[in-house]
Amino acid sequence: MVSGDGSVRSLALPSASSPGVTPARSSAASASAAVGAAVGAAALAVPALPAPDGRPLHLTTQEDLLALMPIRAYSDREIKRKGDPLEFLKKNVGPGSPARMNQGNPEIASHLISREQCLEGLRGVVLQTEEQRKICGADYMVPVYRKGDIARTKFCIDIFEFPNRPCELPFVWAGPTQARIYCEMQGKRLCAQEEWVQACRGDPEGKEDWLYAYGNELDLTICNTNKPARTYGEPVCDPDSVSSTWKTCHSNTEPAGSFPRCRSRFGVFDQHGNVAEAMVRFDPEEGGLVSQLKGSAFFYVDVARKHNERQKEGSRETYPDHCAHDPRWHVEPMATAWHVNYHLGFRCCKTVKPPADR
């Protein structure tokens, strides 16, 4: 609705209450113990899993891709200042090209788990409780806090990689600068490294941090980190240019949440594996807010090493993947952080008032 300066209108884009969402059906008895303990409340799946609807897993139309991206209402003044978000999305989200955000090149991507199998694996799992929904004010987000005190919550984090939909493939081919815009379109923001790390290694009850989201021992089978490029990579990936990368490099992702054990104690999925994730980091030496690329992707088995192992001389470069690993890949000022890739996605966070201040 448009009615003058300062008014708010909803654009002709999918809303958060999209079709396919069915009434809650899980009970506290089937809840994840960790998440249930985190909120100390009767757990209820809010929202419930969507029902299978026959769409292909790898989405190949702009309409289907945009349907996964509900955006917030914009005022006329905001549209005048920032531009029309709908136009931005139409220009920057779509299939068939690395110039737009999508789910990769479907001609060469290898996905082993169907949407239906993924949904079956999550059946009975409480992804978000009513209390978590209330604190975060958005679907599929969980509060993250320190010292076991939920009243200290300062932010929430998406439980899945963007677009934060259970059992949908994560989006790739968006640079950090664009990722920040997409998060802001949803009333969120791109996660900061400190937040991402806390959501990965922390414990809602205030117990000791873990090295990995799932424990203290590296296990390449728990997350989507175990797809060697030589097995799932014909033709061989040639990352020489954006064009050659699109044509030859395989976005071998799986539906978000396909690996139920690949979940942090706060309830966040796929922080190891599937897609590496763009976030922001404050670095005074680099001039302020910079892009931080972090985490592993589906091919991590090829480059994996334990957190306490050293790089072997003369062999292929490897890197650790514990939550706190702090790489310096493609660091750029956030205003011009355009690095994109076939295995790079992102995740959104949201600042919230602590429950005690509501």
User: Which span sits near Ca ion by CB under 5 A: 20-28, 190-198, 246-254, 262-270?
Assistant: 262-270
* CB within 8 Å of 145: residues ≥ 6 apart: 151, 152, 153, 154, 204
* Among 196, 225, 201, residue whose Cα is nearest residue 214: 201
β-strand partners of 277: 294, 345
Strands (DSSP E) found in 152-283: 155-158, 189-190, 276-283
Q: Are 103 and 59 in contact (CB under 8 A)?
A: yes
* Among 87, 76, 105, 93, residue whose Cα is nearest residue 10: 76
User: Which span sits near Ca ion by CB under 5 A: 103-111, 192-200, 212-220, 266-274?
Assistant: 266-274
Within 212-231, the residues that bind Ca ion by CB under 5 A are none
> Is 321 near Ca ion (CB under 5 A)?
no
For the CB of residue 238, give the shortest distance to Ca ion in the complex, in Å: 24
Nearer to Ca ion, 95 or 295 (CB): 295
User: Which span sits near Ca ion by CB under 5 A: 35-43, 265-273, 286-294, 309-317?
Assistant: 265-273
* Among 101, 93, 206, 189, residue whose Cα is nearest residue 144: 206
User: Which span sits near Ca ion by CB under 5 A: 63-71, 110-118, 133-141, 272-280?
Assistant: 272-280
Nearer to Ca ion, 112 or 335 (CB): 112
Q: Are 275 and 170 in contact (CB under 8 A)?
A: yes
For the CB of residue 275, give the shortest distance to Ca ion in the complex, in Å: 5
For the CB of residue 130, give the shortest distance to Ca ion in the complex, in Å: 27
Nearer to Ca ion, 26 or 252 (CB): 252
Nearer to Ca ion, 139 or 270 (CB): 270
> Is 270 near Ca ion (CB under 5 A)?
yes
Q: Binding-site residue total for Ca ion (CB under 5 A)? A: 3
Within 287-306, the residues that bind Ca ion by CB under 5 A are 295
Distance CA 335, CA 349 (A): 19
Distance CA 270, CA 296 (A): 9
> Is 254 near Ca ion (CB under 5 A)?
no
For the CB of residue 161, give the shortest distance to Ca ion in the complex, in Å: 5
Question: What is the rounded (10 degree) CA torsion for 246, 247, 249, 252?
Answer: 90
> Is 253 near Ca ion (CB under 5 A)?
no
> Is 139 near Ca ion (CB under 5 A)?
no
Nearer to Ca ion, 176 or 295 (CB): 295
For the CB of residue 50, give the shortest distance to Ca ion in the complex, in Å: 21
CA distances (Å), origin 64, targets 50, 129, 357: 15, 28, 39
The residue from 225, 258, 274, 341 that contacts Ca ion (CB under 5 A) is 274
Residues in contact with Ca ion by CB under 5 A are: 270, 274, 295
